[in-house]
Amino acid sequence: MAEFTMELNDDQKQVRDWIHGFAADVIRPAAAEWDEREETPWPVIQEAAKVGIYSLDFYAQQFFDPTGLGVPMAMEELFWGDAGIALSIVGTGLAAIGVLANGTEEQIGTWIPQMYGTPDDVKVAAFCSSEPDAGSDVGAMRTRAVYDQAKDEWVLNGTKTWATNGGIANVHIVVAVVDAELGTKGHASFIVPPGTPGLSQGQKFKKHGIRASHTAEVVLEDVRVPGSCLLGGKDKLDERLARAREKAAAGGERVKNAAMATFEASRPAVGAMAVGTARAAYEVALDYAKTRTQFGRPIIDNQGVAFQLADMRTQIDAARLLVWRASWMAVAGKPFTSAEGSMSKLYASEVAKKVTAQAVQILGGNGYTREYPVERMHRDSAIYTIFEGTSEIQRLVIARTLAEMPIR
């Protein structure tokens, strides 16, 4: 039996240091500029592609790390560099994972390379689920996918919103309703290939934070995609729908565990992003507190400042441990009987908001200006309690899981 250890192995340390180097040398110096420009940092993505950080291989290697720590470690380091740029780099991975997890071999081989492009001609991908009236309540989704049997094509109509890379993506993954009677069980995902007529970008949002990451509406008007673009294929969908109909006819499924394994496995990655931003702000605050002198001594000599830093560091470490536990559980196939993935995302995202606010406070007037990065980090941190399920939704999932109650 393997010995219990909390230490990263040598390979992991090497990868972590490599990503950290890229975050420190390439991402961090570019952060303020792309935050101000509010544009996708294509040159930085290209740099990441050249060194191998923007690629499916990189993502897959971290994903298949048998300890589960590959993905959280990579996320923490990239988001330590800058959240907006890091999201521009990993946004494609979030769409690619959907294809990797549910697609056929042919779909994986055809579409994932087109999501990334090449280092000389980088592309991005988008995952479009949220809609104006269906955010937390995914069951309220209205985008429809209708099968045209004669042509073996699916026809998509609807409006998606808040899609990271929406409209600028080479490949869009779109979730749509195929059987409205079945609620979320009647949803399916579709690959929309580059240049498909009928897909257009709606409003591009001007945001509070992560401004280097492109967020926009995606409008779908009679978008026709070949039958081969249904993720997983038609047979699998038909089987899944038949099972769902049977269960619905039998009066529904008895819920033993409200936490959904896929979300429990993906949410720790968002928790790790939050840990990265929190750690970045903490480090700036610690350094500042040691060097800023008031009343003839460094401000860290005041217990009021030092205790804040002690709490910040403690909470960041606690958040990381929750993230690592959930990430390990996902690869070890442990059931999330207490929604441990949601727990890690909830705690880490709340810690990031709190710690970055404390960092602004510790830097005083400087913390409030764009001369120092904590102002940006504080704005960026607000996203973590919103996307991939708000904090309230995480609490709802945890509570319902503990109570063995259905989520909806």
Ligand X SMILES: Cc1cc2nc3c(=O)[nH]c(=O)nc-3n(C[C@H](O)[C@H](O)[C@H](O)COP(=O)(O)OP(=O)(O)OC[C@H]3O[C@@H](n4cnc5c(N)ncnc54)[C@H](O)[C@@H]3O)c2cc1C
Strand partners, 192: 172
**Residue matched to tokens 């589960």:** 68
**392 touching ligand X, by CB under 6 A:** yes
Q: Is there a contact between 174 and 167 (Cβ–Cβ < 8 Å)?
A: no
The residue (of 206 and 297) whose beta carbon lies closer to ligand X is 206
The single-letter code of the amino acid at 205 is F
Kindly name the residue from 3, 388, 392, 404 that is annotated as catalytic: 388
Site string for ligand X, 315-354 (x = CB under 6 A): ----------------------------------------
The token pair at 92 is 């494609």
The token pair at 347 is 């705690």
Rounded to the nearest 5°, which phi and psi values hold at 216?
Answer: -150, 165
Torsion sign across C-alpha atoms 228, 177, 143, 399: negative
By the 10 Å C-beta count (0-12 exposed, 13-18 middle, 19+ buried), 35 is classed as buried
Nearest distance from C-beta of residue 355 to ligand X, angstroms: 20
The residue (of 201 and 390) whose beta carbon lies closer to ligand X is 390
The single-letter code of the amino acid at 312 is M
Q: Which of 128, 174, 237, 398 binds ligand X (CB under 6 A)?
A: 128
How many residues interact with ligand X (rule CB under 6 A)?
19
**405 touching ligand X, by CB under 6 A:** no
**201 touching ligand X, by CB under 6 A:** no
How many helices (H) and strands (E) are present in the chain, helices listed first?
Answer: 14, 11
Q: Please indicate whether residue 350 is annotated as part of the active site.
A: no
Of the ranges 144-152, 323-331, 352-360, 385-393, which one interacts with ligand X (CB under 6 A)? 385-393
Of the ranges 72-80, 127-135, 241-249, 397-405, which one interacts with ligand X (CB under 6 A)? 127-135
How far apart (Å, rounded) are the C-alpha atoms in residues 184 and 245? 12
Strand partners, 160: 218
Site string for ligand X, 141-180 (x = CB under 6 A): ---------------------xxx----------------
Q: Which of 173, 387, 397, 400 binds ligand X (CB under 6 A)?
A: 387
Q: Which of 115, 176, 393, 398 binds ligand X (CB under 6 A)?
A: 393
Residues 211-230 interacting with ligand X (rule: CB under 6 A): 215
Q: Is there a contact between 154 and 227 (Cβ–Cβ < 8 Å)?
A: yes
* DSSP per-residue codes, 252-268: -PPPS--S-HHHHHHHH
Left, alpha or beta for 207 (phi > 0: left; psi -120 to 50: alpha)? Answer: beta
Nearest distance from C-beta of residue 176 to ligand X, angstroms: 12
Strands (E), 287-363: 293-294, 297-298
Nearest distance from C-beta of residue 210 to ligand X, angstroms: 6
Q: Which of 174, 396, 397, 398 binds ligand X (CB under 6 A)?
A: 396
Nearest distance from C-beta of residue 94 to ligand X, angstroms: 7
The token pair at 401 is 């899981």
The set of catalytic residues is 388
Binding region for ligand X (CB under 6 A): 127-130, 135-136, 162-164, 207, 210, 215, 383, 386-387, 390, 392-393, 396
